[in-house]
Amino acid sequence: MTAIIPPSVPSSILSGASSSENLNDLKLSDIIRTIPKACFEKNTLKAWVSVAISVAAVVVGYVAIAVFPWFLLPVAWFFTGTALTGFFVIGHDCGHRSFAKRRWVNDWVGHIIMLPLIYPFHSWRLLHDHHHVHTNKLHVDNAWEPWTIEGFREENPFYRTLYRVFRGKLWWMASIAHWGKLHFDLRQFHPRDRAQVKVSIAVVVIFAAILFPTLYVTVGLWGIVKFWLMPWLGYHFWMSTFTLVHHTIPEIQFHPAATWYPVPAQLAGTVHCTYPKWVEILCHDINVHVPHHISVGIPSYNLRKAHASLMQNWGQYIPVRRFSWSLMKTIVEECHIYDPVTAYRSFRDVDRMA
């Protein structure tokens, strides 16, 4: 692949300096112009093949849950939860209008594919758009924004405890709190968008009102736990993990609005993290996240091609990691409280300062 650098890129950036400060004067359009146009092309066949893969994987998972002996159920639950994460990623493409060319197809598929997760489509779409516009902007981003030390100390003990829990060992449940707190609250949305949000909330409420009584009547309370709750928790493990790792390592800094710039935030503030191949397949490469933050118009099946281009042209700025428990240990033990110099302070550091 031939590197394509637009003429507007300053020579200081071409010199090889790796500081994200060199990116401040660039626009996202400068980065986008270096990505092959083919990466933005929607392919109907590939989109529906992604749906078929996810549906097949979820069916396999639920068959396994139904027939596996009790001691193998955790394996079936985790596999099914991972497959359900693929449903979310398809809904994610729909929310960014990169699944289909027609908006109504995106809306219908997005609503249907997110039903098993009880996720209101438009609620998620609108809040997620806000995250993209304000990625890593302090006091504005709505995804894994760290508290300031002043805010942490001034908060009441109950919420401080919750924050400690969800930024620590129970990070994998944080997306449940995010889902429940924000996505059903109309106050989170602009008045012009509330009609759409109400429709999405009504759709999932009606679905839940049918699903849970049906499960209770047919398979009982244990059946609800077995067939819905445990796979749903498996999905939230990945939802929390992916979204945390996307923008959280000790080297990535949140910035106040006055010193925030879009290109450093999206390019150098987004982590490319590799996961086990089966996870990447079932989750449609959601971990290949840097291209998605350069342009939400890139469909999931084109992310790898776009990433290869970005690595060739801008790789010196892109944080790259491999998923491991040591990586997660570092994140959940160190990346807690915003620091304007070091990016993060740990709870231990803050407690020692008290």
Mean pLDDT in residue range 280-304: 98
pLDDT tens profile 114-167: 999 999 999 999 999 999 999 999 999 999 999 999 999 999 999 999 999 999
Mean pLDDT in residue range 322-343: 98
10 vs 218, more confident: 218
Q: In terms of Cα–Cα distance, which of 247, 251, 262, 253 is closest to 25?
A: 262
Query: What's the pLDDT score for residue 16?
Result: 41
- Residue 23 CB neighbours (<10 A): 22
Q: Is residue 4 part of a domain?
A: no
Predicted TM-score (pTM) of the model is 0.92
How far apart (Å, rounded) are the C-alpha atoms in residues 301 and 316?
24
pLDDT band at 2 (very low <50, low <70, confident <90, very high): very low
For residue 322, give the 3-state DSSP assignment: strand
How far apart (Å, rounded) are the C-alpha atoms in residues 62 and 68?
10
Domain that holds residue 190: 11-353
- Decide if pLDDT at 17 tops 70: no
How far apart (Å, rounded) are the C-alpha atoms in residues 340 and 110?
38
Q: Is residue 316 part of a domain?
A: yes
User: For the chain, how many structural domains are there in total?
Assistant: 1
Query: What's the pLDDT score for residue 22?
Result: 80
How far apart (Å, rounded) are the C-alpha atoms in residues 322 and 264?
21
Query: What's the pLDDT score for residue 21?
Result: 55
Sequence-ordered alpha helix ranges (H) in the chain: 11-14, 28-32, 44-67, 73-95, 103-113, 121-133, 149-154, 157-166, 174-182, 194-224, 230-247, 262-263, 277-282, 290-294, 303-314, 325-334, 347-353
Q: Is residue 2 part of a domain?
A: no
Q: Is residue 51 part of a domain?
A: yes
How far apart (Å, rounded) are the C-alpha atoms in residues 247 and 47?
26
Residue type at 21 in one-letter notation: E
Percent of the chain's residues with pLDDT above 90:
93
* Contact indicator for 313, 1 with CB cutoff of 8 Å: no
pLDDT tens profile 50-104: 999 999 999 999 999 999 999 999 999 999 999 999 999 999 999 999 999 999 9
Query: What's the pLDDT score for residue 19?
Result: 52
Helix-helix angle 325-334:230-247, to 10 degrees: 70
Helix-helix angle 230-247:174-182, to 10 degrees: 90
Q: Is residue 6 part of a domain?
A: no
Mean residue pLDDT of the chain comes to 94
pLDDT band at 10 (very low <50, low <70, confident <90, very high): very low
Q: In terms of Cα–Cα distance, which of 323, 344, 347, 324 is closest to 335?
A: 344
pLDDT tens profile 18-30: 455 589 999 999 9
- Residue 41 CB neighbours (<10 A): 12
Q: Is residue 163 part of a domain?
A: yes
